């Protein structure tokens, strides 16, 4: 019998303890983790916010599927696409497109996954605050690790990746 191989998966404990398993809502609050980050007053480099637009923002996923995994969100805490205003919808998809462009320039992935998980049955971990995942992918990447070992391999620290993406973001985008 082959002994079980163990890989350190330290990020998972933080995720579970932070309320990730409870829909991303703090036990003492009804606000999403994203709204709490926005209201924290902390600088963007500490919160891993990569870009701020008038109606939307981009933040690094603290529990990424791959290095460079970004989330694009409206500032307004809403849960469904149909609740977006026309202006939010237009800006959201323009920013998603820009996030893909920046990701390709900085990370040089072979492909990119873009998607939403709307509602708990769809896998939405922070279901009350709509967010679009932008995830770089490479041929032969190690996604099998998540399925087989509940582990993700990330070769770069989140702050380093956020700084690269923030630096590559066009400066001509209007600030909020």
Kindly report, residue by residue over 71-93, the tens digit of the pLDDT: 999 999 999 999 999 999 999 99
Write down the pLDDT at residue 120. Answer: 76
Write down the pLDDT at residue 14. Answer: 52
Check: CB of residue 76 under 8 Å from CB of residue 88.
yes
Q: Where do the structural domains in the chain lie, given as residue ranges?
A: 30-166
What residues are labeled active site? 131
Write down the pLDDT at residue 54. Answer: 97
Which residues does 8 contact at the CB level (< 8 Å), separation at least 6?
Answer: 151
Q: What is the pTM of this model?
A: 0.71
Write down the pLDDT at residue 24. Answer: 46
Helix 158-168 vs helix 86-107: crossing angle, to nearest 10: 110
Mean pLDDT by 10 residues, the chain (176 residues): 48 47 50 93 94 96 88 95 96 97 94 88 78 90 50 64 83 54
Ramachandran region of residue 44, left (φ > 0), alpha (ψ -120 to 50) or beta?
alpha
**Which CATH superfamily hosts domain 30-166?**
HIT-like (3.30.428.10)
d(CA 20, CA 63): 9
Q: How far is CA 126 from CA 15, 23, 88, 121, in A?
A: 12, 5, 19, 12
């Amino acid at each position: 019998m082959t002994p079980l191989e163990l890989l350190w998966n330290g990020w998972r404990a933080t995720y579970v303890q932070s309320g990730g398993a409870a829909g991303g809502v703090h036990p003492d609050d009804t606000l999403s983790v994203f709204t709490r980050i926005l209201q924290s007053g902390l600088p963007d480099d500490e919160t891993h916010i990569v870009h701020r637009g008038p109606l939307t923002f981009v933040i690094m996923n603290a529990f990424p599927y791959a290095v460079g995994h970004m989330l694009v969100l409206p500032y307004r805490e809403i849960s469904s696409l149909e609740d977006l205003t026309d202006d939010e919808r237009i800006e959201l998809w323009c920013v998603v497109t820009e996030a893909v462009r920046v990701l390709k320039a900085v990370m040089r992935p072979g492909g990119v996954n873009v998607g939403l998980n709307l509602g708990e049955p769809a896998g939405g971990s922070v279901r009350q605050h709509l967010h679009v995942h932008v995830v770089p992918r490479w041929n032969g990447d190690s996604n099998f690790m998540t399925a087989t070992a509940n582990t993700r391999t990330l070769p770069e620290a989140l702050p380093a990746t956020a700084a690269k993406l923030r630096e590559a973001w066009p400066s001509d985008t209007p600030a909020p």
